[in-house]
Amino acid sequence: MKICIIAELAPAKTFIPIIKRLEEHEIIGLMHGKEVKNILEPYCSSLYYIGKGRKITYKKNKLKSCYLIFKDIIRTTKVLRKIKPDLLLTCGNAGDVRKGIISANILHIPVLHIEQDIYNPIEMIAFADIITAPSKDYKEYLEREYLLKNVRNIGGYPHALYVLESEIKTCEEDDFILLVLGGDIKYHDVPKLIKTIESLDEKVLIVPFRFKTSYIKSLITSSKVKVLEGFVDLLSYIKNANAVIYCAGMGVTIEVAVLEIPSIKVAGFHYKHASVDLAKEVGIPIVKIQDIPKYLPNLKKPKAKSLIEGSKKSVNNVVKIIENFSFEKKEKSGFKSLKKIWDARSKFM
């Protein structure tokens, strides 16, 4: 079977333990953002660049964004038409999923989507053939709240197994706190966060991910705070950190939990999110920016035993779904589900 995966950085990590167990199949990667190449390249027979995620900025040009998304959809459709895959795998709730599922539906390519965000999924999963959920309760939530069909419970998060199987390196830097700026913080809250981090009077390394490096640098006044540029081996930096403070979702939550690093999840605008549920489950406090200095000295290691056990089960279950995938035409959830999801997402926009 020829299988295509389309992914940004964090969802790519979800796919790795799965495709490592699909040795008899040809795996082709569609990169959404050039940073993902380092992760996918060892496991794919070929890679294609089909666009990138948008950085968080103060003012969004909606017309320009629509143009760029449309341009990426055309590019993705051309690549998929050339490759002619039997199956497309998607994961996450970013633009790569939207572009991939739209293009796959245009070309009548079946889609298996691994859903992890639950409360804030991308609306186009309404047109996936099969959707997976990490638990029975989440499966029932997706069916009840979004009227989604063909949802399967896989019993965990494959990303956690990726972390377990990864090689962790020693960093040149030592004795530091790591700050990860993902997608769960508003642009106007970043200056307040940087000011709070500087008040700690600790050595802090910042991974800017969703923000332009130049912007983050412009906010820094302390010599103890440094921005990491270019590709960052995030797992190694997390493992070598004294503590992690992060404004991000499921990916970083899983990584700090599995690596058992004392961490703070900054309370973001995604107040209802599966990563919030998981953080509470493993013992990671969710803290307002102004309260970070109070919580930091008393952090404990997360407890990830059940998360790790579930990850192994989930990978085996996804592999079984792929190996036994029925290519008969399925009834998709459709526009009613899309509308339900769109209304839910609008609360976070």
At 283-311, the pLDDT tens digits run 999 999 999 999 999 999 999 999 999 99
User: What CATH number does residue 40 fall under?
Assistant: 3.40.50.2000
For helices 305-323 and 274-282, angle between their N-to-C axes, nearest 10 degrees: 140
Asked whether residue 65 carries a pLDDT value surpassing 80, the answer given is no
Task: Give the pLDDT confidence score for residue 54 in this predicted structure.
Answer: 54
Q: Are residues 290 and 315 in the same domain?
A: no
Asked whether residue 328 carries a pLDDT value surpassing 90, the answer given is no
- Domain of residue 87, residue span: 2-163+309-348
For residue 183, what are its two tokens?
Answer: 């997608």
- C-alpha distances (whole Å) from 255 to each of 54, 112, 246 are 23, 24, 11
Q: Are residues 38 and 132 in the same domain?
A: yes
Average pLDDT over residues 313-328: 94
Q: Are residues 177 and 140 in the same domain?
A: no
Rounded (10°) CA dihedral 178, 307, 34, 95: -110
Q: Which amino acid is residue 281, in one-letter code?
A: E
Query: pLDDT category, 225, cuts 50, 70, 90?
Result: very high
Which residues lie below 8 Å from residue 55, measured CB to CB, with a gap of 6+? 210, 211, 212
Domain boundary (305, 321, 338) is at 305
Q: Are residues 183 and 328 in the same domain?
A: no
Asked whether residue 51 carries a pLDDT value surpassing 90, the answer given is no
Q: Are residues 237 and 267 in the same domain?
A: yes
- Which has more pLDDT, 324 or 271? 324
Asked whether residue 347 carries a pLDDT value surpassing 80, the answer given is no
* 69-80 tens-digit pLDDT: 889 899 999 999
How large a percentage of the chain has pLDDT more than 90? 77
Task: Give the pLDDT confidence score for residue 202 in this predicted structure.
Answer: 96
pTM of the model: 0.92
The C-alpha atoms of residue 120 and residue 115 are separated, in whole angstroms, by: 10
Task: Give the pLDDT confidence score for residue 262 in this predicted structure.
Answer: 99
Q: Are residues 112 and 12 in the same domain?
A: yes
Q: Are residues 260 and 315 in the same domain?
A: no
Q: How many domains, in total, are found in the chain? A: 2
On the 0-12 / 13-18 / 19+ scale of CB atoms within 10 A, 115 is buried
Which residues lie below 8 Å from residue 287, measured CB to CB, with a gap of 6+? 264, 265, 266, 267, 295
Asked whether residue 55 carries a pLDDT value surpassing 60, the answer given is no
The C-alpha atoms of residue 341 and residue 144 are separated, in whole angstroms, by: 12
Q: Are residues 44 and 181 in the same domain?
A: no
Q: Are residues 10 and 151 in the same domain?
A: yes
Average pLDDT over residues 122-134: 97
* 135-167 tens-digit pLDDT: 999 999 999 999 999 999 999 999 999 999 999
Query: pLDDT category, 94, cuts 50, 70, 90?
Result: confident
**Ranges 88-92, 101-105, 230-234, 282-286: which has the least confidence:** 230-234
Q: Are residues 109 and 199 in the same domain?
A: no
Polymer length in residues for the chain: 349
Q: Are residues 285 and 207 in the same domain?
A: yes
Asked whether residue 224 carries a pLDDT value surpassing 70, the answer given is yes
Rounded to the nearest integer, the mean pLDDT of the chain is 92
Q: Are residues 290 and 191 in the same domain?
A: yes
How large a percentage of the chain has pLDDT more than 70? 96
Q: List phi, psi (to 5°) of 293.
A: -60, -30
DSSP letters of 256-312? HHHTT--EEEE--S--S-HHHHHHHHHT--EE-GGGHHHHGGG------HHHHHHHH
Task: Give the pLDDT confidence score for residue 282 in this predicted structure.
Answer: 98
Q: Which of 282, 240, 247 is nearest to 265 (CA)?
A: 247
- Terminal-residue alpha carbon distance, the chain: 39
